[in-house]
Amino acid sequence: MHCHDVKRVIYFFLDGTLGDQRQSDLRDHLSACPECEARKVVHQRLREFFRKRLGPVSAPPHLKQRLTRSLRAFAE
């Protein structure tokens, strides 16, 4: 894996949604590349900051009802 690959997939890595092999390749690259490791740390801190500041947001009840009706109509 190369630095430009890390830039493209760092969010998937942090989410844990990369495949096992790519996750492993990225971990190997991070352990060998201080610049990419620093980039990962910055992205982790940003994600944590936003997670703490914004908290979970729920859709309003009327939107949930509208979506449910639309999905039922689509399924029929």
* pLDDT tens-digit readout, 50-75: 888 887 778 899 999 999 999 998 88
Kindly tell me the sign of the dihedral angle through the C-alpha atoms of 22, 42, 7, 33: negative
Residue 21: predicted pLDDT: 93
Q: How many domains does the chain have?
A: 1
> Residue 1: pLDDT band by 50, 70, 90 thresholds?
confident
pLDDT reading at 17 higher than 80: yes
Is the model's pLDDT at 76 over the cut of 80? no
Token pair 């890595």 is found at 13
Q: Please say whether the beta carbons of 58 and 26 come within 8 A.
A: no
Domain of residue 59, residue span: 3-75
Mean pLDDT of 34-60: 91
Whether residue 11 contacts residue 40, with contact meaning beta carbons closer than 8 Å, is answered with no
- Read off the pLDDT band of 10 (50, 70, 90): very high
Q: How far apart are CA 41 and CA 44, in angstroms?
A: 5
Give the separation between CA 47 and CA 31, rounded to whole angstroms. Answer: 21
